[in-house]
Amino acid sequence: MIAYASRTGTRKNLEALRRAGWRLLVSATGSWRNEGFAYAIDNGAWTAHQSGLPFDEARFMRLVWKMGEKADWIAVPDIVTGGIQSLEFSLKWLPELRGIAPLLLPVQDGIRPRDIRAYVGPELGIFIGGSTEWKIQTALFWGDLARDRKAHLHMGRVNSQRRIRIAQAAGCHSFDGTSVSRYAVTLHELDPARRQEALCFC
């Protein structure tokens, strides 16, 4: 699996990530720098939700126009734990974002595989978001859909060996987390788990 760490400005952590072959997740709510890494773009909805702030659509689009063309993928804007309302919101963004970079459609609590089957495929992957409990409970269902539709599958907020195992069991192609961005020491636990899982399931 490809591993993304939330963008950090700490030189020690960046060097550790570089040596391990991780990539960066650049968020609309953070600093718009990739530090020479391959990167993907996060819409920033989770951070805004955690802070009790509204989603800043204009800021997200400024980041997309600045860095989107070279991104591995862009997470389409969504509504945290918003269910079908989140899906409807995300779908409205597709015409605006298509053609810039590969896109990932976030799934949130209450969304079912049949709700997005007609939309996802090689050009529109799946981003497993939502609450922690829901994400863990539904990961395998999204994996089945991604394999059937030949879609990229990504899991957000993976900060433990257990969640790496869940992501791999689901067949995720990539995951992201903040743990190694904040504490480089956790890389010694998470990266071997990522590499071991990949060897076991290739």
Q: Residue 73 sits in a domain of what CATH number? A: 3.20.20.105
Q: Is the Cα dihedral 67, 70, 76, 81 positive or negative?
A: negative
Residue-range definition of the domain harbouring residue 191: 2-201
pLDDT of residue 199: 40
pLDDT of residue 134: 96
Kindly report whether the global pTM for this prediction surpasses the value 0.85.
yes
CB 106 within 8 A of CB 131: no
Across 135-163, average pLDDT: 97
Q: Provide the domain count of the chain.
A: 1
pLDDT of residue 183: 60
CB 64 within 8 A of CB 97: yes
Across 18-28, average pLDDT: 96
Q: Is the pLDDT of residue 198 over 70?
A: no
pLDDT of residue 46: 87
CB 182 within 8 A of CB 8: yes
Q: Is the pLDDT of residue 200 over 50?
A: no
pLDDT of residue 29: 93
Distance CA 27, CA 46 (A): 10
pLDDT of residue 185: 67
CB 170 within 8 A of CB 1: no
pLDDT tens for each residue of 43-89: 999 888 888 889 999 999 999 999 999 999 999 999 999 999 999 99
pLDDT of residue 74: 98
pLDDT of residue 9: 80
pLDDT tens for each residue of 99-138: 999 999 999 999 999 999 999 999 999 999 999 999 999 9
